[in-house]
Amino acid sequence: MSSSQHVASTPFKAPDSSRLQLNEQGKLRHFLTTESLSKEILTEIMDVAESFSSVGDQAVKKVPVLRGKTIVNLFFENSTRTRTTFELAAKRLSADVLNINVATSAASKGESVLDTIRNLEAMQVDMFVVRHGDSGASHFIAQHVAPHISVINAGDGRHAHPTQAMLDMFTIRRVKKEFDGLKVAIVGDILNSRVARSQIHALNTLGVEEVRVIAPKTLLPLDTNTLGVHVYDNLLEGITDVDVVIMLRLQKERMSGALLPSEHEYFECFGLTQKKLKQAKPDVMVMHPGPINRGVEMDADVADGTHSVILQQVTNGIAVRMAVMTMAMNHQVSDQP
């Protein structure tokens, strides 16, 4: 597929979040998607994250920013890494944290999502961090929560994973300093990736020179509307002269259907090796949202090599989630007369 062809799209209509995410003063109230947010807001998230980046190096790894606030991790699907980093971020802000295992809660017995929300609201909580398998679930909850409560989307269906995208943006900025002039390649399961969609929106808003997506044709979105990316189905062509390569996790269940023939063949065509990486710029940075399938998305030499910033992403994720929580919680102050 020619590099001049554009793809841009999602296989669903995303909820309208342009007004829902901001309060009347234009400050962040909910963080549901990177789409529709301005460059100024995304930059502010990174700036605030920078101010929190040294908290983990302190003898006492806490700041009193959200002391007295209660944050609920409401995960309708499992994600140990995301839940853990949100929990750690909240605790470093001195908030009280409640982890709800929905699989063993009343929701598994037939209680609706709104019933669950209303019962938790009655406990005077201040924020919901929501992970859900259905696209738009976080938007739905944000539309129905009490006015003082903020909602953070920790991943919904195939729609969005905005905090992952922003920790990626923060990591890129810390290494590359500026977004202007950067060429970024996103490799893997674009069709089913909520991370990729959030990354594409953020990268374009922050003004990179070019976003490329590289994948087998079976793992590319069918719709070709408006995201503004260049599409490749050849890895070597796609990563030529790029500054950043973001590898996506290949979900093993894709192997059992007709989308891909085998892990071995996928790795041969789209797996990243040191030899293939030579096509990129000499100072290329390699990223991955985790967890990595070694020998499928990339080999160990790349994952653990000098170009890899994967562990930095994990560390930066705590500061970024601290920033988002702080900014969203501050809407309660901004909304006061």
Tell me: the pLDDT tens digits for 149-198?
A: 999 999 998 889 999 999 999 999 999 999 999 999 999 988 888 999 99
Q: To the nearest whole percent, how much of the chain has pLDDT over 70? A: 86
Question: Residue 249: exposed, middle, or buried by beta-carbon count in 10 A (0-12, 13-18, 19+)?
Answer: middle
Q: Mean pLDDT over residues 281-296, rounded?
A: 94
Helical (H) or strand (E) element with 150: strand 150-156
Average pLDDT, whole number, for the chain? 88
Tell me: the pLDDT tens digits for 195-248?
A: 999 999 999 999 999 999 999 888 887 763 567 899 999 999 999 999 999 999
Judge whether 32 and 138 are in contact, CB under 8 Å: yes
**Cα 149 from Cα 325, distance rounded (Å):** 11
**Cα 286 from Cα 242, distance rounded (Å):** 10
**Which two structure tokens, joined as six digits, stand for 311?**
């562990």
Q: Which domains does the chain have, with CATH numbers?
A: 12-160+315-334 (3.40.50.1370), 162-311 (3.40.50.1370)
Q: Mean pLDDT over residues 281-305, rounded?
A: 95
Cα–Cα distance list, 327 to 41, 101, 322 (Å): 10, 26, 9
Report the pLDDT value the prediction gives residue 223, as an integer from 0 to 100.
61
Tell me: the pLDDT tens digits for 48-99?
A: 999 999 999 999 999 999 999 999 999 988 788 899 999 999 999 999 999 9
**Cα 42 from Cα 205, distance rounded (Å):** 8
**Cα 64 from Cα 129, distance rounded (Å):** 20
Report the pLDDT value the prediction gives residue 133, as an integer from 0 to 100.
86
Which residue has 């007709």 as its token pair?
Answer: 258
For 197, half-sphere exposure in the C-beta direction (CA atoms, 13 angstrom radius) is 26
